[in-house]
Amino acid sequence: MCLLMNRGSGFCKINLTPILMILNANERTFAPFSLTRLLTTCFGRGNGEKVCILIDLPNPADMKDFKFLEDETLSIQNYGHEVFYKGFKNGQLDEMNWTGGEIFAYKETGGSNLDMEDDCFDPEGNHLSLDKDIYTKYDIILTVSTFSATAPLTAKCKEFGFRGATLHGLNQIILDTGLSVDYDLVSEEAERLRLGLTKADTFEIDFEVENKVYTLKLHTRGQEAQKSHGLCPPSKGGDVANLPAGEVYFVPESAEGVFPFKYDESTIGLLHVEDGMITKSQFVYGDYAEIEDHNRRLKDDPMIGAIGELGFGTQVLPFSGRDIQDEKILGTIHVATGRDDHLGGKITPDLFKEHKNASHDDVLYAPHKTPEIRLQQARMIRGEQTEILIEHYKPAKYMVDLLEAELAVEA
């Protein structure tokens, strides 16, 4: 294998050893987790940058004297304290050549990617402002939270210029696998798939529920594919990475069709889509009240039914039970509703009737999460080219070939 690099005057070739993909996560060996390795790979070698950790709490004042550690239900925030805060205090901050290492708490938003309140607290109990005391004073912000803060922090990093990462839903499986991989390799693999999918016109996804097949068509109309790959070097300026990373995604320009939605373990509905908007939910089985409530909310605020993203996982990882990792797994697909401004889309929070509705919610299709829904096939259409991407939650030959092919990268 050779890597083509543009050095200004032309391309040069770097020979690489071909790598055959391991497609079964159980056959992979993961290196022990290293905070220094993860952050050095993702953010680059330190140069005195000031870093802090943010966590979300039901009552952010419980940050005082670390009172929140007494609550066993706050395991995610405990990881933020034990792995990141203590890791920095125990010498890894110096290894990174970073400064700071403080930890702060803000009030949990109650929904995925909802805007955050400005109030926050430090361990001394001081009542602070995210805008005035955090975003303006820290170069790197790591957010370990229950609810995703990727969208609001992406908006804030553009305003204030910091870099960061969101690590919502952190658990031990994620720590041992999705955060223990080589993100230079993750980035390369994501780029292979991005190049293979970019400028697609349409994606078609066939779902089977109760022995009936339904198809959702998402139109990207030649759009350049984007990737979430975990790398956020100093050269990128204001940017926020999702960790674990590893997906290729689009912001659909329109969509139509029908796709199934799992409300809970006992309820399935069919979501009808016209002109990029979910117009109604149709009862399949379970609790009819769930369907009625969804239809009521769609009528009250139609923007909650806007289709805001189509994403394909690129990594071979074990399922963690958390969407932040599981949507990055090769063979899975997620379709998101709601705001997409953090992805370069035009659906912004001000378009929603109420603030609480301006979320970005990923609808993940994966064998462990939606076993009742069979992902028969996902296809890409690009001009006269039609390629099968996924069948029965497994990457098809086209996807595997992309991952094993030579990669040409323009510097």
pLDDT string in tens for the chain (411-residue length)? 444 444 444 444 444 445 577 899 999 999 999 999 999 999 999 999 999 999 999 999 999 999 999 999 999 999 999 999 999 999 999 999 999 999 999 999 999 999 999 999 999 999 999 999 999 999 999 999 999 999 999 999 999 999 999 999 999 999 999 999 999 999 999 999 999 999 999 999 999 999 999 999 999 999 999 999 999 999 888 999 999 999 999 999 999 999 999 999 999 999 999 999 999 999 999 999 999 999 999 999 999 999 999 999 999 999 999 999 999 999 999 999 999 999 999 999 999 999 999 999 999 999 999 999 999 999 999 999 999 999 999 999 999 999 998 655 443
User: Is 231 contained in some domain?
Assistant: yes
User: Is 19 contained in some domain?
Assistant: no
Looking at the structure, tell me whether residues 209 and 139 fall in a common domain.
no
Instruction: Count other Cβ atoms within 10 Å, centred on residue 61.
Output: 15
Looking at the structure, tell me whether residues 199 and 160 fall in a common domain.
no
Out of 109, 135, 170, a domain closes at: 170
Looking at the structure, tell me whether residues 98 and 242 fall in a common domain.
no
β-partners of residue 127 are: 121
Q: What is the DSSP string of 75-98?
A: HHHHHIIIIIIHHIIIIIHHHHT-
pLDDT for res 237: 81
Provide the domain limits for residue 67: 31-170
Looking at the structure, tell me whether residues 346 and 319 fall in a common domain.
yes
Q: Is 69 exposed, middle or buried (0-12, 13-18, 19+ CB in 10 A)?
A: middle
Query: Could you say which DSSP state residue 133 is in?
Result: I
Looking at the structure, tell me whether residues 101 and 208 fall in a common domain.
no
Q: Are 201 and 222 in contact (CB under 8 A)?
A: yes
User: Is 237 contained in some domain?
Assistant: yes
User: Is 175 contained in some domain?
Assistant: no
Give the alpha-carbon dihedral of 51, 55, 148, 238, to 10 degrees: -20
Task: Tell me the Ramachandran region of residue 125: left when phi exceeds 0, alpha when psi lies from -120 to 50, beta otherwise.
Answer: left
Looking at the structure, tell me whether residues 253 and 362 fall in a common domain.
yes
Looking at the structure, tell me whether residues 394 and 368 fall in a common domain.
yes
Q: What is the pTM of this model?
A: 0.93
Looking at the structure, tell me whether residues 152 and 195 fall in a common domain.
no
Out of 170, 202, 233, a domain closes at: 170
Task: Tell me the Ramachandran region of residue 199: left when phi exceeds 0, alpha when psi lies from -120 to 50, beta otherwise.
Answer: left
Could you tell me how far CA 331 lies from the centroid of its own chain?
Answer: 15
CA neighbours closer than 13 Å in the CB half-sphere of residue 268 = 15
Residues 6 or more apart in contact with residue 361 via CB below 8 angstroms: 111, 112, 113, 336, 337, 338
Amino acid symbol at 179: L
Looking at the structure, tell me whether residues 326 and 222 fall in a common domain.
yes
Question: d(Cα 411, Cα 403) in Å, to the nearest integer?
Answer: 20
Q: Are 103 and 120 in contact (CB under 8 A)?
A: no
User: Is 179 contained in some domain?
Assistant: no
Out of 117, 148, 170, a domain closes at: 170
- How many domains does the chain contain in total? 2
